[in-house]
Every structure is written in structure tokens, then in C-alpha cells.
Amino acid sequence: MEGNLGASPELSAGEPPHEATKKAKTMSFDQYHEPPDELSQKTRTFARMCTSLIEEAEAIGWYEQRISLEKDREAKAIMQNAQKEEFKHFGMDLEFLLRRKPEWRAELKEILFTKGSISSKPANAARKKPSNFAFWKRQRRPSPAAWSPFLPFRADAAG
């Protein structure tokens, strides 16, 4: 690409310069599926954080591959340290999104940091609400006659 210094690597040789400008303008909006100027600032920020979450997950995966192949212990340790940083960034991105979408947090509470099989968790566990009958069944208490020390007759003593 002699004579074309500073050109975007996405451009093919001999591509007119105005195409580079056009590509640069559209590339910055690849994260949006709707016209960015029609989206609110809140929605654009949310989309950027989703993109950031994806990028952090990709970086974690790339480090995992590099670490698995690296023979040099010191280089491997540096990569493991860098991967830890990517985990932190992933966690911060996820937490940012969850704070803005409480319904996502409710769904993930049924999956994250739990024991047992991940795949056997009910898909709609967070949305399941007990019926009134189930609530009262759990709350059922013995009648006063069964436990009151002031009554001469106790139901559990009846024969």
C-alpha cells in the first residue's frame, strides 16, 4: 500500500479517499441496529455498554487461548494477570447493565452464583409467583385451640 500511508486497512488498494471517509462514518455506528440519531442518549449508552461487554468476553477468550499455548511461565503469568483485568471489566459492564435493567437481575439471580446444574434451572423461575393458596399453605399455623395454654381443651390432647 505504498503511497497510501494512513489509509484504513479495510480499504482495498486504489479505493477512492471519499470511500474511506464514508466507511469511517458508518463503522462507528455498527453497534446500532437503528438510526443512532433517533435513539436516546440512554439507549446509545446502553448499546455501548452491551458492545463493551461483548468485547470484554472476547478478550477473555483470546487470553484463554494464549494462556493454554504459552510455554514461558513469566509470559503466561502476565497473560493471566491481564485476563483477570478483563474479568473485572466484564463484571463492571454486566453490573452497569443490570442496574439499568432490574428484570435482567431478577432472571440472573436464578442462575448466577447458585449450586447444582445450570441447565436444569427453570427458564421462568424468576417469573414464577406462588398462588395465594400456596402462600397461605406455607403460612398455615395451628388453630388457637391447638396451642393456647389458656384453653382447657387442646386439640393435640384430644383422643
For residue range 87-140, list pLDDT tens digits in order: 999 999 999 999 999 999 999 998 999 998 988 866 555 455 554 545 444 555
Residue 42 has pLDDT above 80, yes or no: yes
Residue 67 has pLDDT above 60, yes or no: yes
Q: Which of 71, 62, 65, 67 is nearest to 80 (CA)?
A: 67
pTM: predicted TM-score of the whole model, two decimal places: 0.58
What span, in angstroms and rounded, lies between the C-alpha atoms of 111 and 128? 14
pLDDT reported for residue 81 = 98
What span, in angstroms and rounded, lies between the C-alpha atoms of 96 and 92? 6
Average pLDDT of the chain to the nearest whole number: 76
pLDDT reported for residue 148 = 46
pLDDT reported for residue 46 = 95
